[in-house]
């Protein structure tokens, strides 16, 4: 029997939203008796989640709520969950995810087990693939190793950008041993936008695979409407996370980074 922990990091999300996610996983797991699973709700905020319920049973669907006492962000919360899990496989799942077909769980665990990989639905974005010439030539991480490529495309030459595909961090699966090996998520990426990209690249550098699993239509990401101000804040967080990634990881491993993109 495979053991799986669903880790959900929350920050003042409504208990009703988190309960909806839990209910959808429990419903899906009715058809997946080969899994022994639990929930780890990592509470980064001040919301009370003691009202959350899960199915009755000896071990399947057990629920643990961990109050961190401060906002550790997406990456820090995930790391707490990984450290407290005893499962073989980790599912990172957002509170606004709804599982609509249990096959996505089966396929993602199967892929992670077969290929010892990070697995999930890959999404593409032209925004992610930028070049070193668009960033300052100074870095607090490796100031002497930051290259400058004056002939490379810049933000003004978007036609030459190439899309990068990465696992959607709202719903991703990997062996717990993989996360331990690469020292988990990078908590410098705060509050967490771009954190899944960094995690995938760290796994790649350590020799692991990033596997595309056709599960997009088997779950829904219903985050609801966002205000323009919040969308702008997300863009800023993502931009900062992306720049930190380039300075701390990609520019130090430029050849491997190009290999990863292609």
At 131-170, the pLDDT tens digits run: 444 444 445 555 454 444 444 444 444 444 455 567 889 9
* 135-144 pLDDT per residue, tens: 444 455 554 5
Same domain, 219 and 232: no
Q: In this predicted structure, what is the pLDDT of residue 244?
A: 84
Quote the CA–CA distance of 151 and 85 in Å, as a whole number.
48
Per the structure, the complete domain to which residue 237 belongs is given by 129-162+226-262
At 260, list the tokens: 């990863």
Cis peptide before 191 (omega within 30 of 0): yes
For the chain, give the mean pLDDT. 84
Name the residue with higher pLDDT: 79 or 225. 79
Same domain, 174 and 254: no
* 184-198 pLDDT per residue, tens: 999 999 999 989 989
Question: What φ, ψ does residue 4 adopt, rounded to 5°?
Answer: -135, 135
Same domain, 138 and 243: yes
Same domain, 56 and 144: no
Same domain, 39 and 113: yes
Same domain, 110 and 25: yes
Same domain, 173 and 103: yes
Q: Provide CB contacts within 8 A for 157, sequence distance 6+.
A: none
Looking at the 3D structure of the chain, how many domains does it have? Answer: 2
pTM: 0.88
Q: Mean per-residue pLDDT for 61-67?
A: 96
Q: Any idea of the CA torsion for 184, 187, 193, 195, to the nearest 10 degrees?
A: -20
Q: In this predicted structure, what is the pLDDT of residue 1?
A: 82
Same domain, 208 and 136: no
Same domain, 188 and 243: no
Same domain, 173 and 216: yes
Same domain, 213 and 234: no
CATH number of the domain where residue 6 is located: 3.90.550.10
Same domain, 175 and 247: no
* 86-106 pLDDT per residue, tens: 999 999 999 999 999 999 999
């Amino acid at each position: 029997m495979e053991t799986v922990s669903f880790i959900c990091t929350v920050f003042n999300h409504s208990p009703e939203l988190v309960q909806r996610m839990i209910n959808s996983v429990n419903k899906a797991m009715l058809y997946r008796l080969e899994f022994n699973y639990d929930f780890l709700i990592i509470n980064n905020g001040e919301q009370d989640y003691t009202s959350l319920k899960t199915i009755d049973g000896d071990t399947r669907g057990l629920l643990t709520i961990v109050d961190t006492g401060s906002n550790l962000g997406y990456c820090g919360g995930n790391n707490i969950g990984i450290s407290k899990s005893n499962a073989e496989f980790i599912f990172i799942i957002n509170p606004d995810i709804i599982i609509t077909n249990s096959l996505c769980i089966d396929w993602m665990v199967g892929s992670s087990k077969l290929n010892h990989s990070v697995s999930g639905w890959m999404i593409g974005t032209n925004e992610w693939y930028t070049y070193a010439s668009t960033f300052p030539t100074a870095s607090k991480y490796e100031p002497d190793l930051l290259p400058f490529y004056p002939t490379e495309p810049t933000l003004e030459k978007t036609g030459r950008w190439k899309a990068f595909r990465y696992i959607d961090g709202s719903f991703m699966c990997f062996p717990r041993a993989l996360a331990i090996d690469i020292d988990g998520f990078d908590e410098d990426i705060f509050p967490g936008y771009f954190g899944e990209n960094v995690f995938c690249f760290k796994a790649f550098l350590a020799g692991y695979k990033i596997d595309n699993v056709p599960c997009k239509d088997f779950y829904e990401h219903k985050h609801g409407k966002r205000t323009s101000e919040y969308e702008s804040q997300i863009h800023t967080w993502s931009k900062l996370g992306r720049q930190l990634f380039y300075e701390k990881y990609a520019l130090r491993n430029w050849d491997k980074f190009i290999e990863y993109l292609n």
